[in-house]
Amino acid sequence: MASMFQKKVYPMKCIPFNRAFTLIELLVTIAIVGLLSGFIFVSMLNAINSGNDARRKSDLAAIEKALLAYQAEGNTLPASCNTLTAGCLSEISAYLPSVPDDPDLSKSYVYTKVGSDFTLSGTLSNGNTYSYASGGWSEVTNAFLANYHYRKSHLIAGSSAGAQTNYQVKFIVHRGTGTDSGQDVYMDTAKLDSTYKDLRFTSSDKTTLLDYWIETSDSSSATVWVEIPTIPASTDNPSTATIYIYYGNSSAVAIDRDTGGDATFSFFDDFNAASLNASKWDASGTGTTTITGSVITLAYGSGGANYKILGKSSYGTGYNTATLFKIKTLHGLNSVAHDEFFGIDPGNYYSVAAIPSYSVAYRRGKWESYDTAQALTNMSVWAANTFYKVEMIRNGTTNVMYKINDTLDATITTNLPGNTSRTPGFGDYVAGGSVSCDWVLIRKYISPEPTHSTYAAEESN
């Protein structure tokens, strides 16, 4: 017994088995156990998620096959079901006795009838959307742009005149509360920066940035043009383009005004440089050019030939373009002796005695369209030395339209210039006159134009 006792005591001196754990030992042990259980929890969660995702894909494939089989029998597709639950799609019970529900009770599959076609979708564990459309399956990331906190999706409805590419669409982005509708979309003042530096637009993949230009803004709203890469025809399926509007990123840097304008339009000049941009314009005649505060002013000299600038190249296809100016002339409607002019191809004024030009223009206080002869119409308003936003729209072979500050002022249907190459220009012919331009751009135009459809609710990140 004594030897056993000694044996038992001896190791206690060197290896203190039953000594209490030190605090550090305890903490290390707890950390290791925590880490191990964390690993186990994460790997269990991963296993559950991948199992659920596999089930979602097989569920959706089964619904797709049943719908296609039902349709192949000559049946009309069932009505849309925004949240697929029992009772939905009872029409296809012969092919799929029980329509499956998402394994996560907080989620649902979505079925949408689109004419004689349909879309199906589910949300995967990582938030991505797994969807069937136009006969194929795809997974679209749900990730936000880096550092962004808010976004809304928006549908743009196609034109009956056909699919459009790189088409500029106008938005009025409001800071404040309101109902998103048409070109008007609202963001909370606490979310969208008052300088709009954090405003971004992406295509339907939620990541590819779209070109845009802010025409004008103050702290309550901004007028914004966004170049949409593709807009389907109204007869296409789907007939809408989806884009995302992002906002809420305090680290965002504003898009440079020139960079945005050049990227968004086929022709653009905001006259921000100190001198005329020789890669965009040719000047001719005798006069003075002044650029101050992002506004160019052309004043007639004494050379006897009109002083003007013309775009160096042709832009757009001629037909189906709109040219926009923010512009003013020193004289108003009733000063007909002053020959200030601006427009599309107003290039040959007075340089050829017989035929002034093939132009769509403002001239001497009237709107003009000129092919082989001249059509003139009166303007409703044109005050001296006052900036107006003017839009000259070449609407195919139908007409040309003239807008002042976004309101249609006149339409001319005769003497329309042919579909030849076009370039913007402006200038002055008579001593004492001048034309000042803040910016000019050319955008695409088709009649009817694509329209704003619905906005989805704000998503946050």
What residue ranges bind Ca ion (CB under 5 A)?
211, 227, 263, 270-271, 294, 438-439
Using the minimum distance from each CB to Ca ion, give the nearer residue, 271 or 341: 271
* Separation of first and last alpha carbons in the chain: 72
Give the Å distances, CA to CA, from 118 to 133, 135, 137, 178, 414. Answer: 7, 9, 12, 33, 46
Please report how close the Cβ of residue 269 comes to Ca ion at its closest, in angstroms. 8
Using the minimum distance from each CB to Ca ion, give the nearer residue, 110 or 440: 440
Q: Which residue has the tokens 């680290």?
A: 251
- In our burial notation (b when 16+ CB lie closer than 10 A, e otherwise), range 36-71 reads eeeeeeeeeeeeeeeebbeebeebbeebbebbeebb
Name the β-bridge partners of 162. Answer: 159
Using the minimum distance from each CB to Ca ion, give the nearer residue, 208 or 397: 208
Please report how close the Cβ of residue 385 comes to Ca ion at its closest, in angstroms. 17
Containing H/E element for 175?
Answer: strand 164-175
Please report how close the Cβ of residue 296 comes to Ca ion at its closest, in angstroms. 8
Using the minimum distance from each CB to Ca ion, give the nearer residue, 43 or 208: 208
Q: What would you report as the CA-atom Rg of the chain, rounded to the nearest whole angstrom?
A: 33
Three-class SS state of 261: helix
Using the minimum distance from each CB to Ca ion, give the nearer residue, 60 or 228: 228
Using the minimum distance from each CB to Ca ion, give the nearer residue, 95 or 387: 387
Please report how close the Cβ of residue 267 comes to Ca ion at its closest, in angstroms. 12
Give the Cα separation of 187 and 151 in Å (integer): 9
Using the minimum distance from each CB to Ca ion, give the nearer residue, 77 or 330: 330
Please report how close the Cβ of residue 173 comes to Ca ion at its closest, in angstroms. 19
Please report how close the Cβ of residue 72 comes to Ca ion at its closest, in angstroms. 43
Residues shown for the chain: 461
Kindly provide the residue ranges of all beta strands, DSSP E only, lying in 318-450, ordered along the sequence: 321-329, 340-344, 360-363, 366-370, 374-378, 388-395, 399-404, 407-412, 424-428, 434-444
Q: Could you tell me if 111 and 80 are in contact, meaning their C-beta atoms sit under 8 angstroms apart? A: yes
Minimal CA–CA distance to 428: which of 332, 361, 338, 302? Answer: 338
Please report how close the Cβ of residue 112 comes to Ca ion at its closest, in angstroms. 31
Using the minimum distance from each CB to Ca ion, give the nearer residue, 261 or 433: 261
Please report how close the Cβ of residue 328 comes to Ca ion at its closest, in angstroms. 12
Query: Reduced to 3 DSSP states, what percent helix, strand and coil does the chain have, rounded to the nearest 5?
Result: 15, 40, 45
Residue nearest to Ca ion (CB): 294
Name the β-bridge partners of 110. Answer: 121
Give the Cα separation of 188 and 202 in Å (integer): 20
Give the Å distances, CA to CA, from 238 to 22, 256, 300, 368, 397. Answer: 68, 34, 54, 40, 29
Give the Cα separation of 441 and 457 in Å (integer): 33
Using the minimum distance from each CB to Ca ion, give the nearer residue, 248 or 450: 450
Strand duo 388-395 + 321-329: pairing: antiparallel
Please report how close the Cβ of residue 258 comes to Ca ion at its closest, in angstroms. 10
Please report how close the Cβ of residue 200 comes to Ca ion at its closest, in angstroms. 14
Using the minimum distance from each CB to Ca ion, give the nearer residue, 193 or 438: 438
Please report how close the Cβ of residue 311 comes to Ca ion at its closest, in angstroms. 16
Using the minimum distance from each CB to Ca ion, give the nearer residue, 226 or 245: 226
Minimal CA–CA distance to 163: which of 92, 84, 232? Answer: 232
